[in-house]
Amino acid sequence: MKTAIIFGSSGGIGHQFVEYCLAQYEHVFACTRQSQSFKTIDKEGKGKLHLMQLDPSSETELQLFSEYLAGREFNVQLMINACGLLHDDSTHIAPEKKIEDFNAESFEAVIKANALITPLIAKHLLSHLNKGAKKCQSTGVFASLSARVGSIGDNYLGGWYSYRASKAALNQIIKTLSIEASRRFKNSAVVAIHPGTTDTHLSEPFQANVPAEKLFTPEYAIKKMMAVIENVTLDDSGKFYAWDGSLIQW
């Protein structure tokens, strides 16, 4: 039973990954802290949607999810972490324009949302991906949504300290995990991917100066990213991709 697991499925990008996967996988787990709904449920009987209300930064909840999967016949072949945080009005989190804007609490919240979840998912669920891929003689792919601004080599503009640092930390975790996967989870590839500027809640306050042709719909971004993800091989593990398949320097 070919299975995909999507974290951050309440988000603009995560939601669309679920919609896409429903047409391609027999089972799709849509994981978020919120309640959620989808317009495509079991479309043409091809997909079976499992709505999971869980907090991916909770080890207890991930452990329970792992135990649930362990007793069942799901062949996990794809895991995507689409969780992320750039701004939050309710907690006054906003990307810093200058160092005086830096705030310890905001930094911790941004690090938690952007860098903590991927290693926790890997700790509890990467073995399921590897097992599913091995059984199906395919490459299991664990893709995490990063951001070009997390590239240290590509940083020419400055600003956005917390978000940049959190995605740079995520990138280092992905690179490190890919090395361990090559030894211990040999049927799995671990990659980072930048979606391009995509029209979601996260990018909404920053869209004013983005040319129309560079602001993607979630449908377009996911179509492009899945074309990359679906062609990832074991040799590609540890790469940082842009939405069009080009590589971004760390």
Ligand X SMILES: NC(=O)c1ccc[n+]([C@@H]2O[C@H](COP(=O)([O-])OP(=O)(O)OC[C@H]3O[C@@H](n4cnc5c(N)ncnc54)[C@H](OP(=O)(O)O)[C@@H]3O)[C@@H](O)[C@H]2O)c1
User: Where does this chain bind ligand X (CB under 6 A)?
Assistant: 8, 10-14, 32-34, 56-57, 82-85, 112-113, 145, 147, 194-195, 197-198, 200-203
Nearer to ligand X, 73 or 219 (CB): 219
Determine the angle formed by the axes of helices 117-135 and 161-184, rounding to 10 degrees. Answer: 30
Q: What are phi and psi of 56, to 5 degrees?
A: -70, -5
SS3 of residue 117 by DSSP? helix
Nearer to ligand X, 139 or 203 (CB): 203
Least distance to ligand X from the beta carbon of 139, Å? 23
Least distance to ligand X from the beta carbon of 200, Å? 3
Least distance to ligand X from the beta carbon of 222, Å? 10
Nearer to ligand X, 132 or 195 (CB): 195
Q: Which of these, 29, 35, 33, 40, lies nearest to 6 by C-alpha position?
A: 29
Nearer to ligand X, 9 or 75 (CB): 9
Long-range contacts, stretch 220-224, CB < 8 angstroms, 24+ apart: 221/13, 221/16, 221/195, 221/196, 222/13, 222/16, 222/17, 222/19, 222/20, 223/20, 224/196
Nearer to ligand X, 133 or 177 (CB): 177
Least distance to ligand X from the beta carbon of 8, Å? 4
Which helix (H) or strand (E) segment is 131 a member of? helix 117-135
Least distance to ligand X from the beta carbon of 31, Å? 9
